[in-house]
């Protein structure tokens, strides 16, 4: 369970004051009477997921582990950030024990990047998982056409057994193409939007291929939905966080810096930015989601946070028990003068850096700090964290009077781009 500490947040009122409003909006969310309630399937997904499909995901993942060196995930936004966040958080950036490498394309128009992916996979045993709910996303469609031709050239008839489509149950170009070609397909549920879909087959297949327990992801999600399930704000840390954000924005803070101390959680921050930015940034409202990995970014952004314009508050996501820790070695000669740390654990140093930074930013810099602590970096923790942030973003956006589950703003650039590209 994620723990919340608001004692450094400089709130000028207690979140409890918002109790009645929160209870009212929670009822609207649970009873599906809130704006966008057609897209709240994530709330009961941990129980309601299709068990037959789940078994098929496990079988398919095993097959890929046996016959492939690389899984190419072809998707963008909600159709790739969830699995990438989970895989990197749990397995790390240079995983030693992952049977199949997972790499990503379909998330850019960069010819250089797309070409580099194709060069990288050309002599490897490859499976492709193309992921798109609409089936028409241009970044994904461009990369997939190139991948499809590559797979057909490389594997002939066998290509169809090495391409898997995760898409809408019945509609869309990708579904029609997959049916025609005879690809295995998995379903993105109608009632779960892109940025909430990492817990569905969108995430579950790549995560399982990476050797991570998807049973644990769903267990963490289900437990989280209970732990952050109370309508009473005093018993619900997710809702306290949701309200604290609103209070801080009322106090003039329009930017939230999401801070982590684990480099392998950087994609969790990207996932969080999409979840929060796309859900809340509408109707001329919202807090701009930004992120940093400390202590790395203390050497770049630290100056601004400490002494710059007071536009932001920080939300720190600490990890209580990282999967690995070890002592700093002693050195007989001590030429680097580092022996004062000999025998101390590296994670202890990381935690002291976090404590010192919190104190500097809060007390000298005057920056409000919210502190969240997750127990570890396991598959279970990932699922549980999803529940925490899903509930929080739904509540904090409803408090603005906006629909948390649509994204009308992302269509505008597409219209302009299609015109320039000459799309009918
Ligand atoms: O949250 C969203 O809706 C978006 O980020 C989508 O996930 C993204 O645009 C990809 O869409 P699709 O899955 O239709 O290809």
C-alpha of residue 337 to centroid of ligand 1, in Å: 51
Mean pLDDT rounded to a whole number for the chain: 97
The pLDDT assigned to 423 comes to 86
* Distance between CA atoms of residues 96 and 323, nearest Å: 14
140 lines ligand 1 (CB under 6 A): yes
pLDDT tens-digit series, residues 148-170: 999 999 999 999 999 999 999 99
Interior CA angle at 140 toward 410 and 393, to 5°? Answer: 40
| pLDDT average, residue stretch 61-84 | 97
Q: What is the mean pLDDT of residues 316-333?
A: 98
State the Cα torsion 177-182-183-187 to the nearest 10°.
70
* Mutate which of 194, 272, 397 for ligand 1 pocket (most atoms within 8 A of beta carbon): 194
pLDDT value of position 352? 98
pLDDT-derived band at 410, boundaries 50, 70, 90: confident
Nearest to 249 by CA among 314, 315, 313, 306: 313
Choose which residue among 79, 130, 131, 144 to substitute to test ligand 1 binding: the one with the highest number of ligand atoms within 8 A of its C-beta. Answer: 79
The average pLDDT across 363-386 equals: 98
Mean pLDDT of 354-373: 98
- Average of pLDDT values for 172-181? 95
Q: Are 212 and 91 in contact (CB under 8 A)?
A: yes
pLDDT > 90 fraction of the chain, expressed in percent and rounded: 95
pLDDT at 413 over 80: yes
Please say if 299 is a catalytic residue.
Answer: yes
Q: Check: CB of residue 8 under 8 Å from CB of residue 362.
A: yes
- Per-residue HEC secondary structure of the chain comes to CCEEECCCCCCCCCHHHHHHHHHHHHHHHHCCCCCCHHHCHHHCHHHHCCHHHHHHHHHHHHHHHHHCCEEEEECCHHHCHHHHHHHHHHHCCCCCCCCCEEEEECCCCCHHHHHHHHHHHCCCCEEEEEEECCCCCHHHHHHHHHHHHHHHHHHHHHHHHHEEEEECCCCCHHHHHHHHHCCEEEECCCCCCHHHHHHCHHHHHHHHHCCCCHHHHHHHHHHHHHHCCCCCHHHCHHHHHHHHHHHHHHCCCCEEEEEECCHHHHHHHHHHHHHHHHHHCCCCCCCEEEEEECCHHHHCCHHHHHHCCCCEEEEEEEECCCCCCCECCCCCCCCCCCHHHCCCEHHHHHHHHHHHHHHHHHHHCCCCEEEEEECCCCHHHHHHHHHHHHHHHHHHHHHCCCCCCCCHHHHHHHHHHHHHHCCC
Q: What is the mean pLDDT of residues 263-271?
A: 98
Given pLDDT bands bounded at 50, 70 and 90, which one contains residue 286?
A: very high
Within 10 Å of residue 407's Cβ, how many Cβ atoms?
18
pLDDT band at 3 (very low <50, low <70, confident <90, very high): very high
Q: Using CB atoms within 10 Å of the CB of residue 335, give its burial: 0 to 12 exposed, 13 to 18 middle, 19+ buried.
A: exposed
Kindly report the protein residue whose alpha carbon is nearest to atom 3 of ligand 1: 194
From the candidates 270, 278, 280, 314, give the one annotated as an active-site residue.
278
Out of 51, 52, 119, 299, which one is annotated catalytic?
Answer: 299
pLDDT category, 270, cuts 50, 70, 90? Answer: very high
Ramachandran area for residue 287 (φ above 0: left; ψ -120 to 50: alpha; else beta)? beta
**CA 142 to CA 145: how far, in whole Å?**
5
278 is catalytic: yes
With cut-offs at 50, 70 and 90, classify the pLDDT of residue 412: confident
pLDDT tens-digit readout, 93-135: 999 989 999 999 999 999 999 999 999 999 999 999 999 998 8
Q: Is the pLDDT of residue 33 over 90?
A: yes
């Amino acid at each position: 369970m994620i723990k919340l500490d608001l004692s450094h947040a400089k709130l000028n009122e207690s979140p409890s004051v918002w109790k009645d409003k929160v209870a009212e909006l929670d009822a609207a969310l649970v009873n599906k009477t809130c704006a966008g309630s057609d897209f709240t399937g994530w709330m009961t997904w941990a129980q309601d997921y299709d068990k037959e499909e789940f078994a098929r995901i496990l079988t398919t993942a095993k097959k890929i582990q046996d016959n492939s060196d690389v899984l190419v995930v072809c998707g963008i936004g909600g159709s790739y950030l969830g699995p990438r966040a989970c895989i990197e958080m749990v397995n790390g950036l240079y995983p030693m024990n992952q049977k199949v490498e997972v790499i990503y394309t379909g998330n850019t128009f960069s010819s250089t990047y797309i070409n580099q992916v194709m060069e990288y996979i050309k002599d490897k045993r490859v499976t492709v998982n193309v992921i798109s709910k609409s089936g028409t996303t241009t970044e994904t469609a461009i990369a997939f056409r190139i991948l499809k031709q590559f797979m057909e050239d490389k594997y002939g008839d066998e290509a169809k057994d090495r391409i898997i489509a995760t898409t809408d149950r019945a509609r869309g170009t990708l579904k029609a193409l997959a049916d025609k070609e005879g690809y295995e397909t998995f379903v993105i549920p109608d009632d779960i939007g892109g940025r909430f879909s990492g817990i569905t087959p969108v995430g579950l297949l790549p995560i399982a291929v990476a050797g991570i327990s998807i049973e644990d992801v769903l267990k963490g999600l289900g437990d989280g939905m209970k732990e952050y399930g109370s309508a009473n704000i005093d018993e619900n840390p997710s809702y306290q966080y949701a309200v604290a954000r609103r209070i801080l924005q009322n106090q003039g803070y329009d930017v939230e810096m999401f801070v982590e101390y684990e480099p392998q959680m950087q994609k969790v921050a990207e996932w969080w930015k999409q979840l929060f930015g796309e859900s809340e940034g509408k109707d001329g409202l919202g807090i701009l989601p930004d992120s940093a990995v400390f202590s790395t970014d203390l050497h770049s952004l630290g100056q601004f946070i400490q002494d710059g314009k007071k536009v932001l508050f920080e939300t720190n996501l600490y990890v209580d028990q990282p999967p690995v820790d070890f002592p700093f070695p002693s050195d007989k000669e001590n030429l680097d003068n580092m022996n004062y740390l000999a025998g101390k654990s590296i994670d202890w140093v990381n935690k002291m850096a976090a404590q010192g930074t919190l104190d500097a930013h809060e007390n000298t810099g005057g920056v409000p700090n919210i502190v969240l602590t997750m127990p570890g970096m396991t598959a279970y923790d990932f699922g549980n964290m999803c529940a925490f942030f899903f509930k929080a973003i739904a509540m904090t956006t409803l408090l603005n009077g906006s629909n948390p589950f649509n994204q009308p703003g992302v269509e505008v650039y597409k219209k302009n781009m299609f015109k320039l590209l000459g799309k009918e």
